[in-house]
Chains A and B, each alone.
Chain A
């Protein structure tokens, strides 16, 4: 393949990436943490930790647990707040050479809209990714991402204020029919979708008869969820007409190709960043050889080319 470059052509706006390898929100800090371990500029882009309008302390400890081929987290969206991010972190990122995608967390459509307004004004932000796996305080705390009506409304609220930034809506797998939510987000104006967020799960300490997380339940990530993520990408990419970004358990360049084969246009590397802080950089470096090995000559012909018959 001559170039790894890929363009995600959204409904209204596109995202041009030098390669399809992104990092997943909450697993790559604000990007700065990884500077000692690789050149950020070789990445297709980074998605930073979920940002809210005000700083959040997150949930009580313990809030991570290691599980077979995976991990649970209930961080509770601890973050420095959008203002501190824009002031203290973003200027330190090489945003001219690296698409920096902001991940939005809020608990009402109004707040989502406000966040989008703040971020849309920022030249160094390449796109907005909307985390809809969060509770809507105005609707009894039920999750935006579990109700097609609320998912569409929150997409529209962000879209309305996002200016010329592509809007990516990040889907939750904790639903009966992910395609229904995907279509609702598309109808709400999403430029692209990303899937999946973590799967709801729990782990217990048998001897102590206690849950391993203070919040009892948390989100499962890592290779354990890759089959679920692949299934979701496969289904969603066939249900909508906008690009899909695959997330869930990708650990190596082969995994990236598997997601693209299933229909993804790009892939986010998440929990793998914890296993080795250069994981995402390494995947980018390995990509050309793996493309050659599997005889992939263009993204467009390879994407979604899974032979099912």
Chain B
């Protein structure tokens, strides 16, 4: 995996997607390219205004949407304090950025791969479909609430077979869940499933994946302070590969019920062990 670096990046453009209808809640932000060794789709970057952020101490994690020779691109939804401020960034704003962070989404050139995206969860798939050596093996089902132009969907549709499903009223959700169920079942035998979106969406994907024994990766979003494994604020319960498990030979007398010495699932940092986890190794609750 490429080594992360810390760099100061300049905002070159912040573009609202979808226009007035969507009250400009979705944005593509272009930044100068960090002088890094590269990145892999599914990895993320921490961003924070250089020199401080109005009393906010943490950077914010964003999937690396795309990067070309000159620009790094992030797709975000203005939904809270930091992202609302980001929507207002002028060209020339300097950000502290550290990344690329976390693991990558699985790429299996010859495996039929189903991409499931919910809302802003589409972000990592933009880079994924562009970097994939055999895009003809990719299919996307995209669930969204706001009008389609709010999302970087067109660019994906030009590369792979992609279908969008808008949730306008309560019943639409039911239909989308049925579709997920169906699709995951179809891909369970020989395929690969990758999913990114809000937690209820990931929970549904996980349920179907476990039901049909589909090989599925879930891209998790948790609140993060550091992004580099130091604060332990972003943990999820996951089953670790044996060599990464804490030592089990600890004296039992010190191991309270539920402690690492006894538990099978462990709290692991989403930022360094994820954000992409195999669906059968992670607990979302």
Contact = CB atoms under 8 A, between A and B. Distances in A.
Contacts of A83: 247, 250
Contact of B58 (A62, A66, A75): A66
Interface string A55-67: 1111001111110
Contact of B230 (A29, A54, A66, A68): A29
Contacts of A28: 230
Interface in A77-119: 78, 80-81, 83-84, 87, 111
Interface-centre pick from A26, A34, A73, A276 (highest chain B CB count, 10 A): A276
Closest 9 CB pairs of A and B: A64-B233, A55-B260, A29-B230, A55-B246, A54-B250, A54-B254, A274-B226, A274-B225, A69-B55
A71 B58 contact: yes
Contacts of A71: 57-58, 225
Interface residues of A, number: 43
B59 to A, nearest CB: 7
Interface residues of B, number: 39
A81 B266 contact: no
Interface-centre pick from A27, A64, A71, A278 (highest chain B CB count, 10 A): A64
A26 B231 CA distance: 6
A78 B235 contact: yes
Interface of A: 26-29, 33-34, 36-37, 49, 53-58, 61-66, 68-71, 73, 75, 78, 80-81, 83-84, 87, 111, 222-223, 271, 273-278
B255 A54 contact: yes
Contacts of B254: 53-54, 111
Q: Chain A interface secondary structure, helix, strand, loop or mixed?
A: loop
A275 B58 contact: yes
Contact of B250 (A53, A274, A278): A53
B158 interface: no
Given A55-B260, A66-B56, A71-B58, A81 B250 contact: yes
Contacts of B6: 36-37, 276-278
Contacts of B225: 64, 66, 71, 274
Contacts of A274: 57-59, 225-226, 230-231
B246 A80 contact: yes
A27 B231 contact: yes
A69 B56 CA distance: 6
Nearest to A31: B230
Given A80-B246, A81-B247, A273 B230 contact: yes
A65 B57 CA distance: 11
B246 A29 contact: no
Nearest to B234: A64
Nearest to A68: B55
B5 interface: yes
Nearest to B261: A54
Contact of B267 (A49, A58, A62, A64): A58
A78 B260 CA distance: 9
